[in-house]
Structure 1
Amino acid sequence: MIRPAALLLAALAATSALAQETVPASATVDAARAQIEALAAEMDVDGDARITLDELQAAAGQIFPSIDADASDGLTRAEFLGWEFGLAEMAAFRGRTQGYEAAMGMVFDLFDRDGSQGIDAAEFEAAMVESHAYADLDGDAALSAAEFRSNFVVNVALRNALVPQEVLGARRP
């Protein structure tokens, strides 16, 4: 079971660590990675270091209502972008709010399969199932922590959205 309190504590710890002026850019990337890995560990209910489709679907069933702030059984773009997972604050601290909102907006559009400008529970679950299949590079029907971190659709979008400007500048030829 994904424990919202555990996720919140991880987010607060990462965000407060980032609030210090002396935090190097690489630490921000590491903090985001730590949060993603903590989520993967929460999803891995049986502790076998693999996220099965059943585990992901169970997690999706808990995540959806945590995003649905008005309990309308549907997600708006504002709810999706405003989900309190802690990464929006990290993006803001690093001056990457625009990148974060663009990345999460694209994920919202991918999940909104019918183009209704909202995501219902069925769309959310279908998107999570497809994201699982996309991330499962070795085809073993389960995601390792590395597959989840590096290939799960939301994490792919966030990877560059959270990279600090000074790191992006160093990557350009």
Structure 2
Amino acid sequence: MSNTLILYASVHGHTEKICRYMAKQLTAMGDNVTVSHLTDAPTLTGFDKVLIGASIRHGKHNPAVQAYIAAHQHELESKANGFFSVSLVARKPLKNTPETNPYMQAFLAQINWQPKQLAVFGGRLNYQGYGFMDRNIIRFIMWMTKGPTDPNVDLEFTDWQKVDDFIDRFQHQQNPAEQAA
């Protein structure tokens, strides 16, 4: 049994929803799982695995994610680890992998950490959950990218099978200390 920490940075709650789903999956596989918002992160001591999930807002991950990774890079590298990104652009087949997602590629270029497991998941489009300005900016972007623009839309673009597959790979990842033995 592993002690697993799942950290998230979420604006409207969908990344947190994905993290809590992952926690249930990992718990069913026998892991002891703690889920925490990045700003309330416990010390990494005592955890064998660390998974970080972050949403995209206005084309970028929350700056706190990059700062957290920089401050804890050595500890992250000493454990089984992973990172995933959640965005509406990942709803598109040609932008839904770590290799093809422009936000993931830009983020990885800005950090020194190389997560052992990577994933990109489609997010949730809920116009009624956004403020006036965000709702109209997102509607304009959706119009330009041929996405849904109906202001009453509430769509989830998350491929839950893809989430399951990622969690399965993450759960079977060995801790670097175990690999050296």
Question: Is TM more than 0.5 here?
Answer: no
More strand by share: 2
Q: TM-score, normalised by structure 1?
A: 0.30
Work out which of the two has the higher radius of gyration on C-alpha atoms and give 1 or 2: 2
Question: Normalising by the residue count of structure 2, what TM-score does the alignment of the two structures yield?
Answer: 0.29
Higher helix share: 1
Greater length-normalized contact order (CA 8 Å, ≥ 6 residues apart): 1
